Amino acid sequence: MAKKTYRQAINEAIASEMRRDPRVIVMGEDNAGGAGAPGEQDAWGGVLGVTKGLIGEFGAERVLDTPITESAFIGAAAGAAATGLRPVAELMFIDFMGVCFDQIFNQAAKFRYMFGGRAVTPLVIRTMYGAGFRAASQHSQSLYPIFTHIPGLKVVLPSSPYDAKGLLIQAIRDDDPVIFCEHKVLYDETGEVPDEAYTIPFGEANLTREGKDLTIVAFGRMVNFANQAADQLRRDGISATVIDPRTTSPLDSETILDCVAETGRLVVVDEASPRCSMAADISRLVAEEAFSHLKAPIRTITPPHTPVPFSPQLEDLYVPGVPRILEAARAVMQH
Amino acid sequence: MQYSREFLLDSYRTMATIRRFEDRVHDEFATGKIPGFVHLYAGEEASAVGVCSHLDERDVIASTHRGHGHCIAKGCDVTGMMKEIYGRRGGLCAGKGGSMHIADLSKGMLGANGIVGGGPPLVCGAALTAKTLKTGGVAVAFVGDGGSNQGTTLESYNLAKVWNLPVLFVVEDNGYAESTASGWSVGGTQAGRAAGFGIPCVEVDGFDFFAVYEAARDLIARARNGGGPGMLHATLTRFYGHFEGDAMTYRAADEIARLRAEKDSLKIFRAKVGPGGTASPGDFDAVDAEVTAAIDAAVLAAETDAPPTEADLLTDVYVSY
């Protein structure tokens, strides 16, 4: 296995599925870049270079640059999916869902149910989320709970290069609409990624650390922070299990409940705003289903209920980090 | 007229089926048997049938909240539709969609749509499928004058042009977006908007089947042959309200009576064929009787079909989960 970045892993997943299935197409703003411009073709390969090189191998008929028109092209991706293609559409920043949400939640998400099970919508929307880029309030949000809320959508949050490739291949082969959320800070993270194609099933959590004293459930980029915290806690004699659910819809409730039954203590780390978040959702699940196992109150670690600030000093305060996880873990251990 | 007897009777039959279907839904809704709310297409038949006469199994349409006529014109089964409107398990969508979401993808009907302006982006996608897989298909988006003001519609004009998609946008201008007059709500003209995007537009009398049929023929052939998107702007009216129960106090007192007398697309169709045409008045009367019997049977089937069961609540959300 070779070390690859999260960005390379995503690019490999798309390319391997495009080779395998001629119905897979890619569309989005600047996915190649330079359309109609006097300079080079494939000038950008996506705003952060994730789709670089695809147009060279697959051509402009299968790698479509779009105008800046999210309502039209996300809707077109939904319509294409319902009529025989398997589009991988890129919604550059998850924050832009505000201009095309109808096409996602009223159209793509509902076709199958509204049409009595007689529609299949194999659509993947890749989108970049998360704070840490000094990108301010309209380019930094972690809006995955909003998609998780919608029946008919599946929501994926890969936390590592290995997971990114396997989960994206699964998403492209999946027959339901999938919102594939890529954390922008992770694109340059490296990890072992096989060259060949492989899939990771949805709804199966990954235990990135195993321990018996404490359960930490973390999502996306927060998994890395949770791992660092767990390693530090181990040095202090506290063994924590870190659960990366990998997908928020479907959610591997069983693994979370089993683990809490064993440890009796739960910390949830979520980069989304606190209200109606994954942190709130997991807390609700455990409070309802595993209350009798709890030895301490559940602790959630989220940003404050504010927009994402611009100033680096403020943004660093905003994003949950290792110190807050350690503080919460020690508090539940001492309860 | 140069049309064959068979073509005339087939076209008239589809128009009469839409009219009879909608008149019966109007009557049955008033009895309280139909749940929810419905938006009827009666009066606009020439548009749906004139356009869809050029379409085949390769082609896809997307409709609006006022979708029954488009469904029938694209070949959806009227009994399955009526069952759907009644919320029955045997409906085209197993009773889970209702009037505003009737769809039959096997017939290229990508759905009525509860969101005004919801259809045009989807149709761009259906056209992209046809173009990518080289099926020779075209895709048609029906939008009303209300939907013509949605950003999704205007963005779709641009995307269809930029991607050179085989799309026809049919703007059915029935004069009212809900209760608001199109003369008040539409800035500029539909043709002017099309021109702004570099899309050809044909303005047509939407009460005249033959005018719609001929205009749509050229625009659809152009799209099918790689010429890119077109627009058909049909001026027409609806005989009923925005939804059933709409008292239509925004319309002039004698407006509907006058339109029914002077602008009934079925009467105009028969008049254009004329007493000496290849199809006779007796032929059309026979079609009327046949259609009435078919819709009576559809209503009876819908009334007696079983509703969905408790188990149906949870199925069909995902293919797998």
**pLDDT tens profile B233-250:** 999 999 999 999 999 999
The pLDDT score that the predictor gives to residue B277 is 86
What ipTM score was computed for the predicted complex, to two decimals?
Answer: 0.96
Give φ, ψ of A22 to 5 degrees.
-65, -10
Evaluated on CA atoms B250, B254, B258, B264, the torsion sign reads positive
**Does the domain made of A2-193 have the CATH classification 2.40.40.20?**
no
In a domain, B273, yes or no: no
Tell me which H or E stretch contains B180: strand B180-181
- pLDDT above 80: residue A169: yes
Domain range spanning residue B77? 14-255+289-308
In a domain, B284, yes or no: no
In a domain, B44, yes or no: yes
In a domain, B282, yes or no: no
Taking residues A17-33, report their average pLDDT.
97
More confident residue, B49 or B276: B49
In a domain, B187, yes or no: yes
Cα B161–Cα B166–Cα B168 angle in degrees, nearest 5: 85
The pLDDT score that the predictor gives to residue A292 is 98
- The residues of A that are catalytic are 139
Kindly indicate the confidence band of residue B1, based on its pLDDT and cuts at 50, 70 and 90: low
User: Do A219 and A181 form a contact (C-beta atoms < 8 A)?
Assistant: no
- pLDDT above 90: residue B2: no
The beta-carbon neighbor of B125 closest among A78, A106, A120 is A78
User: Do A301 and A289 form a contact (C-beta atoms < 8 A)?
Assistant: no
Q: How many domains does chain B have?
A: 1
Evaluated on CA atoms B67, B70, B72, B76, the torsion sign reads negative
Question: How confident is the prediction for chain B on average, in pLDDT?
Answer: 97
**Does the domain made of A206-334 have the CATH classification 3.40.50.920?**
yes
Name the residue with tokens 């064929």.
B273
Partners of residue A107 in chain B, C-beta under 8 Å: 113, 115, 118, 121-122
User: Do A244 and A280 form a contact (C-beta atoms < 8 A)?
Assistant: no
CB contact residues (below 8 A), chain B span 81-120, against chain A: 91-97, 101, 103-106, 110-111, 113-115, 118, 120
Interface check for B313 against chain A (CB to CB < 8 A): the answer is: no
Q: What is the pLDDT of residues B66-104, one digit of tens each?
A: 999 999 999 999 999 999 999 999 999 999 999 999 999
Which of B65, B128, B133, B143 to substitute to test the interface with A, most A CBs within 10 Å? B128
Taking residues A186-201, report their average pLDDT.
98
The pLDDT score that the predictor gives to residue B194 is 98
Domains A2-193 and A206-334 share a fold: yes
Question: What proportion of chain A, given as a percentage, has pLDDT over 90?
Answer: 99
Taking residues A132-146, report their average pLDDT.
97
The pLDDT score that the predictor gives to residue A1 is 75
- pLDDT above 90: residue B52: yes
Kindly indicate the confidence band of residue A225, based on its pLDDT and cuts at 50, 70 and 90: very high
B98: left (phi over 0), alpha (psi -120 to 50) or beta: left
Q: What is the pLDDT of residues A255-293, one digit of tens each?
A: 999 999 999 999 999 999 999 999 999 999 999 999 999
**A21 to chain B, minimum CA–CA distance in Å?**
12
CATH number, domain at B121? 3.40.50.970
Q: What is the pLDDT of residues B118-148, one digit of tens each?
A: 999 999 999 999 999 999 999 999 999 999 9
Per-residue buried b or exposed e for B20-32, using 16+ beta carbons within 10 Å of the residue's own CB: bbbbbbbebbeee
